[in-house]
Homo-oligomer: A and B are copies of this chain.
Amino acid sequence: MMTKQQPRTRRAQALREALENDIVTGFYPAGSRLDEVTLAKRFEVSRTPIREALIELSVAGLVDIKPRRGTFVRDVGIARLVEMFEVMADLEAMCGRLAARRITSDEVKALKAAHEACCNAQQGGDPDAYYHANQIFHDTIYKASHNGFLAEQAKHLQTQLKVYRRLQLRVPNRVSMSLTEHGNIVEAITSGDAVAAAEHLRQHVLIQGERFNDFVASVSAHWQEGDAKRN
């Protein structure tokens, strides 16, 4: 990870990460109320750092603070998810476009290595391993864009979409299709074809056509699992 490790002597910072994780993994499902005193008891701190963590999450867009009424895990509907993926596709395309022009020889090596790691993970048949290798592949491209701010933004959005990107891998054949696309992306970037790199990456991330239906289906299934667990 490339985040500059600030000397962390703030509880709120750690709490924010913990809560972010709990939200992303579905421990606190969309719409849950995050009660300050309950959280304070759970983490064995006072309400103050809890409040500060919740405010951070609110600015980051993960929760809604309704003044005097409580804070709730933000409910991203299908519509908003699609919007977020639309933006993600554009950010990744931009990364690819810049990377095609700016990538260094060391980064080319890293990119090819990341691609091979994805191939190996698929051979192994472990979805989690592929998920992880895939993330490294994309991170490598962010970095190769040589725009640190862009890389931060892409990584940020990637975090929010993590859980849903993972869902996509459940769709049959998605992994092998994904690998083919990765190959095209590597080819375009290493050959310096900015336009092709951008377009391949956009199509890779964008959810449209048939894949939109696959996506809605898998997300709906995921949400129903959540509902079932709650009852």
Q: Which of B10, B55, B80, B147 contacts A83 (CB 8 A)?
A: B147
Q: Mark A52-74, 1 if CB is under 8 A from B, else 0.
A: 10011011110001111000000
Tell me if A51 counts as interface (CB < 8 A to partner B).
Answer: yes
Inter-chain CA distance A141–B150, complex, in Å, is 22
**Chain B hits for A68, CB < 8 A:** 7, 9
Tell me if A139 counts as interface (CB < 8 A to partner B).
Answer: no
Count of this chain's copies in the oligomeric assembly: 2
In whole Å, how far is A183's beta carbon from the nearest beta carbon of chain B?
25
Q: Mark A70-106, 1 if CB is under 8 A from B, else 0.
A: 0000000000100110110011001000100000000
Chain B, Cβ-Cβ closest to A76: B149
A-B contact pairs, 18 of them (CB 8 A): A6-B67, A7-B66, A7-B67, A7-B68, A9-B67, A12-B55, A51-B52, A56-B58, A56-B59, A59-B59, A80-B148, A80-B149, A86-B98, A86-B149, A87-B94, A87-B153, A90-B90, A90-B91
Inter-chain CA distance A7–B84, complex, in Å, is 26
**Chain B hits for A150, CB < 8 A:** 83, 86-87
